[in-house]
Structure 1
Amino acid sequence: MIDTANAITGTGVVAGLGYAPALWVKPAPVVPQSCEAHIAEPERELEVARWKAAVTLVSERLSARAANASGAAAEVLEATAALASDRGLQRVVGKLIAAGSSAESATVAAIAQFIEKFEKLGGLMAERVTDLGDIRNRVISELLGLPEPGVPTPETPIILLADDLAPADTATLDPSLILGIATRLGGPTSHTAIIARQLGIPCIVAAAKITDIHDGDHLLLDGGVGTLTLGSDPVDAEARVVADAARRLAVQAWTGPGRTHDGVAVELLANVQDGAGARTAAGFPAQGVGLFRTELCFLSAQTEPSVDEQAAIYGEVLAAFPGQKVVFRTLDAGSDKPVPFVLHPDEENPALGVRGIRLGQGDPGLLERQLDAIALAAEQQGVRNAKVMAPMVATIDEARDFAAACRARALSPGIMVEVPSVALLAEAFLAEVDFMSIGTNDLTQYAMAADRMAPSLAALTDPWQPAVLHLIRSAASAGVSSQKPVGVCGEAAADPFLACVLIGLGLTSLSMAPNALAAVGLQLGSVSLEQCQHAAAAVLRCTTAREARSTAHELLS
C-alpha cells in the first residue's frame, strides 16, 4: 500500500507525478471600503460606463485567450467570455448602479445573485460558479486598476495550489513550469480537471487539507492515487518523476489496438458529441465510438430538427468510422443538459426527474423520430444493425419497449446502466436487449446519493467507491453469463488503473475521451488478464475508495 503518513489526500483526476515547491494562486481582490459609498445620481451614468468598459475588456481578454487555445480549453474560455458579457448580468448591475451602488459593489452583489441561482440549479450550472467568481475578480481588478488576479507566472517549476481554478487560469498554464495542480475544491468533471487532462498536467481536486501547505514547501504530487506528500526524499522523488516521464513518452508513442499483455482483445472506443468530434477522435487510436452523445448536437436548437436533418448529423459520425462500431445514445436531455425543443418541467430535483428515456412521457413521438433518423443515417451509410442505447432506463418494461422500437427499424438495442436497479437486475435486462454500457458518472451519483457536479461531494462521487464497483461487477457478471457485451462509457474508463480493474471484472469495452485512449491502452498492455482479475478481486474486498485505488496501483504498477 502507498505510505500516506505524510500525505494529503484528494481525488486524483489526471495521472502523473510532479515534484517541486508549492506556490499558491494570488488571492482575489478586496473591494475597499471607499467603494461602498453611495453614488450621487448625476454620476451614475458615468459609473455604468465605467463598469461596461471594464467588463468589455475582461470579455475581450478571455476571447483572445480562447483564440490562442484549442480543444476543451478554447470552448470553456469562449463560454466564460460569453458569461462575462451576458445581458442578464448587465441588467442586474445596471439596476444596482441606478439605485446608487458603485460599479465595484454592484459587481459583487450581482454576481452573488447569479451564484446563488446557479447553485440551486445544480448540475452543470453549479459548475459555472467558479467561472462567475473569476469574472467578478477580473472585473473588480480592472475597476480598481489592479493586475489581473489568478495564477502567478513562475520563473522555475512549481506545484500550483488553489481553492479552485477558473478556466481562464487553467487553460493558459505552461506544463513545463506547472508540474502539478492541487485544488481544495472541484470535482472529477470540473473545468480544472477537464483542461488539466487536455494539457497533461497531473492534477488532484477536493484536497481539503492543502491549506496546511505553504509557498515553498516541496511536494510530490501523484495524480494517479490523489496524494500530495510533504518531506519526500529528493533523490527518491526525482527518480519516480523520471520514471513517470518515461511512461508519458511511451503513452505518446502508443498506437493500439487495445489488448492485455497476454493478447486478450479489449475494445477501446471514443466518446464523441458530433461529426467534428468524431473526425477528431478518428485521429486517435480509437477502435470506434462507444458513446455518441446525440443531445449535445442540439443544445442550441430552438426547434426539433427533422428526421432528414438529424440523419445528416448522425451520418457524419458514421462516416468518420466506416466499418467500425458506433453506438448512438438517444437524447439524454434534462437535468444538467436542457435541450430547447424538449419540454422540461420545473422540478425540485431534476437529476431524479424527467430526463433521458422519460422525456417520451411528454412527447410520445420524440424517441420514434430520433430512431427513424438513426435508421435513415445507417441506411445511407451502408451500416447494418446500428447500435442504439437508451439513457436512464430503470425498469424492464422500459427496456422491452425500447428494444421493440429499435428492432422494428432494424437497429440493435442496448441500454445505459446508470440507475442502480439495472445493475441489480442486469440479467433480466440483458434478456431484453443486445448490450449494455455503464455510465459510471450517473451510476455513482445515484448509488452514493451525491450530486456528481457538487465540488463538496467529490469524495462521494469517486468511481472507486466500493459500492459502485460492486454494482459494476453485478452488471459485468450478467454480461458474462448472458454472453452479451457490457462496457463502460463513463469517466471511470479513462483512469488507466481503474480500466484494468474493469476488464478484470469482466467488461468487454471501454469508451472515453479520445486523448485518454493511449494511457489506458499502454497500461492494459503492461498487465495480463489474470493480473486484472486478481486486482479486481482484491479491490472488491476494500471498504474505502482510497484503499481500493491504492490496492489497484500496488498490484498493477
Structure 2
Amino acid sequence: MTAAEMTGIGVSPGVAAAPVARLAPPPALPADTGPEPDPEAALAEARAALEAVAADLDARADRAEGPAADVLFAQSMMPRDPALADRIAKALSDGRSTPHAIAAAFGSFRAALEAAGGYLAERAADLDDLRDRAVAALLDLPMPGLPDPGHRFVLVARDLAPADTAALDPAAVAAIVTEEGGPTSHTAILAKSMGLPAVVACPAAAGLADGTEVLVDGGTGLVVPDPEPGRVRRVLDAEARRAAALTASRGPGRTADGHAVQLLVNLGSQADLAAAAAVDSEGVGLFRTEFLFLDRETAPSVDEQVEAYGQAFAAFSGRKVVIRTLDAGADKPLAFVDHGHEPNPALGVRGIRLARTATGASLLDGQLTAIAAAAAQHAADVWVMAPMVATPGEAAAFTAQCRSHGLATAGAMIEVPAAALRASRVLESCDFASLGTNDLGQYALAADRMNGALADLLDPWQPALLDLVSLAAEAGREAEKPVGVCGEAASDPLLACVLVGLGVASLSMAPAAVAGVRAELGSRTLADCAGMAAEALHAADAADARRLVAAYGTA
C-alpha cells in the first residue's frame, strides 16, 4: 500500500473510480443579534421554517422507496415535535436571535439523544442536518445539498444525512466516502440498499479535493487517490466479472462443493415488503416488528398486528419467516410505557427485559397471540425469537411462552456476550439461535455504535466478535440446532464466507446483498470458508482480518 492510500470501513461492496465531488457545506450561523423585538413573531417564523423542512422531507419520502422512504418519513417527524418548538420559545425568551434559538433547541435534543445511547444515539447526528436545513429555510438560503458537477463522481463528505443519502442518483454517484460514520449508520444502510460502493470512517478523506480521481473499494474500505490507470482497469474488469456473476446468481445458497447455507432477507417495515419478497431468497431471517409500536401514542391492537404480520407471511408463503418480538424500551422508548429513568439505557430494560414489567408482559403476550393467529392463516414457516436474551433462564421462559401460544419454533437472539458464552445452555431450550452482530460487537468491545472515533472497534471483522460467533456456532453444531447471523456482517460477501467457515447455518441480510453473498459462497468450498475463518480468528485486528481473508488463496 502506497502512502497516498487511505483506509476506512467498507460498508457496501463494489468498486468504482471517478473524480471527487464534495458535499456543499451547511449555511454559516450568523452572529447572534438577539433578543428579538417580537418573540412571538420570531417563534412563528421558526415554526414555519421547521414545517418547511418537514414538508420537504415528506416530499422526498414520497419519491423514495424501501428503507429510504422509511428513514425520510421518520426524519420528517422530528421538526414537528412540539417539544422542539417549546425549546425554541425558551431560547427566544432567554434573549437569543431566531437562528441561534433554533440551533440551541436542536443542540439540547442532540445532547439528550447522545446521553440515551443505543438506538436514540444513532439518530443524534441526523439532528445536525435538520438544524442546518431549518436555519437555511429561516434565512432563505440554499439548502445544504448534493453537488452536481455534470459528470459521474465519487461523493465525499464529513458525513451524510439521510435526506442527502436517500436523494442520491446511482447513475450520477459512483461511490460514497465519508470521514465519519459507522457500519450501522444511515449512510451504510441506505448505500447498501442502493447497491452503491461505500466507505465510512475514513478521516483522511478530509484531504481529498474536488476533481481528484479516486478508486474506491466498498468491500475492503480502500480509497486510492490518483490511481495508476492500469490498476483501475484491472480492478474495474474484476468488478465487471463480479457483476456478471451476480446476474447469474440464482437458487438456494450453497458453497462450491454443495454445502447448504440458507440466504435470507431482513425486513423492517411493510413498505419494504414487496421488494424483499421479490428477491430470490429462502425467506426472512429477521422480521423487525418495531414499526408497529414506535412513534405512536397507544399500543397496536392484536387485530392490527394480525393484519400486519399476515401480510408478511402471505408475501413469503411457503418460505421461512423469522419474526423478532418487540425490541424496545429504554433506548427505543414507547410513548405508552412508563420506562422510568435509567442512568445507562444501553444496558437497561430493553428487548425481552421489557417483559419484566406488567405492561411489557402484556405487550409480549399480545404479540405472541397475534403472531400465532396470523401464522395459522398462512402457509409461511413461522419461527419466533426474542431480542436481548442474556441467560438460559430467559431463553427457557420465552420458549415456554411461545409453546403455550401454539408457536412450534422458538429461539433467541444472541447479541449479549453472556448468551454467546453460554450458547450451549441457551440452546437447551431453544430450537434455534440468531446472532445479532451489531449489538454483540457493541457490547463485546464496549464501543457505542455511533461513536465515529471508535468505528474501528465496531467493525464486524473484529476477531473478538468472531470468537463469540464461533462459540455460538459450535454450540449449535453440538446441539444439532441451527445458528444464523442476522446482523450487518452477513451482508459482506467475504465475511459471509468466514461466518460459514465458523459454522453459521444461515445468513440474513439487506435484500440487495443476497446475490453478492450467494455468488461469493458459490465460488468457495466449505474448506475454503474454514480456512478463511481461521485466518480471521488469528488476525491482530479487524483490518488485518479483512486483509488476510481478501488475500486467501491468492498466494
TM-score under structure 1 normalisation?
0.92
* Residue of structure 1 equivalent to 2:519: 522
Q: Give distance in 1, aligned partners of 2:289 and 2:187.
A: 25
1:249 CA drift (Å): 4.5
Identify the match of residue 62 of structure 1 among 57, 62, 68.
57
Equivalent-residue separation in structure 2 for 1:257 and 1:32 (angstroms): 58
The offset of 1:508, in angstroms, is 0.7
1:161-208 alpha-carbon deviations (Å, 9 max, x no partner): 111111221122222332121111111121111221122221111112
In the other structure, the counterpart of 2:102 is 107
The counterpart of 1:20, out of the listed 18, 21, 30, is: 18
Opposite residue 362 of structure 1, the aligned amino acid is T
User: CA separation in 1, counterparts of 2:41 and 2:368?
Assistant: 56
Determine the structure 1 residue equivalent to 2:341.
346
SS of residue matched to 1:555: coil
C-alpha change, 1:355 and 1:98, in structure 2 (3 Å) is closer
Counterparts of 2:183 and 2:467 in 1: how far apart (Å)? 20
1:388 partner letter: V
Higher mean displacement: 56-65 or 541-550: 56-65
Give the 5 Å matches for 1:261-300.
261-275=256-270, 277-300=272-295
Match of residue 423 from structure 2: 426
Structure 1 264/177 Cα, relative in aligned 2: closer, same or farther at 3 Å? Answer: same
Distance in 2 of aligned mates of 1:470 and 1:517 = 24
What displacement does 1:516 show? 1.6
Q: 2: distance between equivalents of 1:207 and 1:111?
A: 27
- Equivalent residues in 2 for 1:202-351, closer than 5 Å: 202-275=197-270, 277-351=272-346
In structure 1, what is the Cα distance between the partners aligned to 2:380 and 2:163? 42
Confirm or deny: 8 A CA contact 2:9 2:183 kept in the other structure: yes
Give 1:405's aligned amino acid.
Answer: Q
Superimposed CA distance per residue, residues 114-153 of structure 1 (whole angstroms, 9 cap, x where no aligned partner) = 2222221222322333322112222333444432223221
Cα displacement (A) at 1:475: 0.8
Find out whether 1:408 has 2:404 as its counterpart.
yes
Match of 2:540 among 543, 549, 552: 543
Count of aligned pairs:
551
Distance 2:427 2:51 in 1: 55
In structure 2, how many angstroms separate the alpha carbons of the residues matched to 1:163 and 1:383?
A: 44
Superposed CA RMSD in Å reads 2.3
Shift of 1:554: 1.9
Aligned AA (1:272): L
Q: Distance in 1 between matches of 2:43 and 2:373?
A: 54
Distance 1:75 1:542 in 2: 38
Secondary structure of 2:448 counterpart? coil
Tell which deviates more after alignment, 414-423 or 168-177.
Answer: 168-177
What is the deviation of 1:556? 6.8
* Partner SS for 1:221: strand
Shift of 1:39: 4.4
Matched letter for residue 406 of structure 1 = C
Report the Cα distance in structure 1 between the residues aligned to 2:299 and 2:110, rounded to whole angstroms.
31
**CA drift at 1:379:** 2.5
Q: Give the % identical residues.
A: 48
CA deviation after TM superposition for structure 1 residue 299, in Å: 1.6
TM-score by length of structure 2 reads 0.93
Secondary structure of the residue aligned to 1:551 is helix
Cα distance change of structure 1 residues 297 and 44 upon mapping to structure 2, 3 Å threshold? closer
Gap runs ≥5 in structure 2: none
Task: Answer yes or no: is 1:394 the counterpart of 2:394.
Answer: no
2:116–2:346: 8 Å Cα contact kept in structure 1? no
Contact 1:414 1:436 in 2 (8 A): yes
Question: Conserved in 1, the CA contact under 8 Å of 2:251 and 2:280?
Answer: yes
